[in-house]
Amino acid sequence: MPRVVSLVPSLTEAIAVTVPGALVGVTDWCSRPADLGPGVVRVGGTKNPDVPAVLALRPDLVVANEEENRGPDLAALRRAGADVLVTEVRTLEQAFRELDRVLRACGASGRPRWLTAAGAAWSAPAPDMPLTRAVVPVWRRPWMVLGRDTFAGDLLRRLGVENVYAAHEERYPRLGIDELRACGAQLVVLPGEPYRFTADDGPEAFPGLPAALVDGRMLTWYGPSLAEAPAVLSAALRAARR
Per-residue pLDDT of the chain (242 residues; tens, 9 = 90+): 899 999 999 999 999 999 999 999 999 999 999 889 889 999 999 999 999 999 999 999 999 999 999 999 999 999 999 999 999 999 999 999 999 999 999 999 999 999 999 999 999 877 666 789 999 999 999 999 999 999 999 999 999 999 999 999 999 999 999 999 999 999 999 999 999 999 999 999 999 999 999 999 999 999 999 999 999 999 999 988 77
CA distances 224 to 80, 118, 233, Å, are: 32, 7, 15
Q: Do 41 and 25 meet the contact criterion of CB atoms below 8 Å apart? A: yes
Q: Specify the pTM.
A: 0.93
The domains found in the chain, sorted by start residue, are 4-111 (3.40.50.1980), 124-241 (3.40.50.1980)
Q: For residue 20, how far is the Cα from the chain centroid?
A: 21
Distance CA 237, CA 212 (A): 6
Largest CA distance in the chain: 55
Cβ–Cβ < 8 Å for 95, 151: yes
